[in-house]
Structure 1
């Protein structure tokens, strides 16, 4: 999420320093929750005591003060277990569904949600205060945030090279942009899968392979994760990368603003986007389902929703939340992101990834 931390992808995607610090403060390993469904020795409600383990992706970076406030109010102790990218997260949940890694999950997105639901890794739960317009999936996955996955450009690189910044998916396959683009692998990265779906939405089930063949011919580089693509290969991250085009988020440019605050050194190509939604839920077989429900409610609370833009670098699910002033200027959402029906994603996701792999990786 570049959540110049995301996405939803740390201060960039729950990223490197800020995200790692937040996780380090809360991380308690990969074991399941130690809370119990039985009442405590003092007869207290287990939802108000014990441990609740949140299994999430590596981009988790919520302000620990908010978590501490939730712990104080609820009587729970929150442990955070990071399981990799959102795609890896879902794979791990499916593999361990008979012995769940924790109690609640955050970070399953709409590109992998159908797999989680079909595998039965989350149980039905609907928060009482679900924001207007926020649609659950399967009565079990609650939307927490959203963001557009889009190609980003290093504006300074293009200005220095006297080359126009591309605008469209078709532009990316133009020979004048040869060897300039890095994306993440849809088999291992949720932003990568979101971008694959963008190309399916743009060119159709029978045309996306031809498009990817043209990108491959034009020297597209494939990284395993968003972090590798952004921090290792992207020239605009300030880490020595050499490629000025990277798959990231529409919110990323809000976190590469110049020191004087008048501009940003990167931009999002808003004609290349797919809208990603991140969900939370209660893990089936949880040791502390009441605590997990309380944690899902907490993620929808006004304080957390208001904090998401600057901590997770994603738009909140609650559309009534006031956004940071810079976001209107530097992090607008795409007016017409590409779409693929969830049922189509569920039916064809694995097939499309296979076809992509044969076309691009070989």
Structure 2
């Protein structure tokens, strides 16, 4: 064999090996694949925060993130199946409404790892890690704050759909107001929700800004000067109303993310936000799947482990009395110590 042919052959072998190596590396990249609920990944809250967890994992853990947005509930099953066919290392589904589709897919594919945000199974499923949040703990603080800041003695809340991940916010908010009334001998009224009867105001969707505006206006017309919408992007409509009529007439308490940061055009209307740190629990689920410690079960975000919390007061910092801030800090400590119950 002549020298030219030898060199050509060796070069071809090296190229083939390099391509094979690159293909193996690409094939071996750990993939975390997320299916959103119908609110969309740019919902300024729920889905966006969960997707941030995948993006954080890309930066911190060196994984590959993939996303499929569900435009309707009929997209849940095909989106999940698409990721199963792509051999994703973990599939993260976002939202209570994906509970059934996730369960069916997990049971049909026991070798595929799943994690679902805002849902947990009883009994647990071996290949599914549920991510749930004690948001009533943080919402309790928001209710106490709202009661202490209301000038009218009336506050309000409404939800998107009457499901536990929504109503747990409303429960905590209501009981935080109750706790304020008990401690202060006050009579601040909560409109829009009764945790004992389970009845309240719901838009029955997570996307209509017009509904957010209308529901907040109705509550405001009934005297509520602080409103907490628990309805994803719907709450942006409430914020737009507050911006129009002025925060002296209506202030908003955000949910899921710090909406002062995620809704910058209307940031000044947010008294605070009840944080559900889904990004942190999503990263933890991906980390467990990547390092081999993944087990089915539940991750619970609480005040104590920083899975839930209250956002800074931002533009309202100077107007909230120092004594009220101190009381809220003390109540938070009491909840973490088990000395104060948020369950009523």
Q: What TM-score, normalized by structure 1, do the two folds share? A: 0.39
Higher helix fraction: Structure 1 or Structure 2?
A: 2
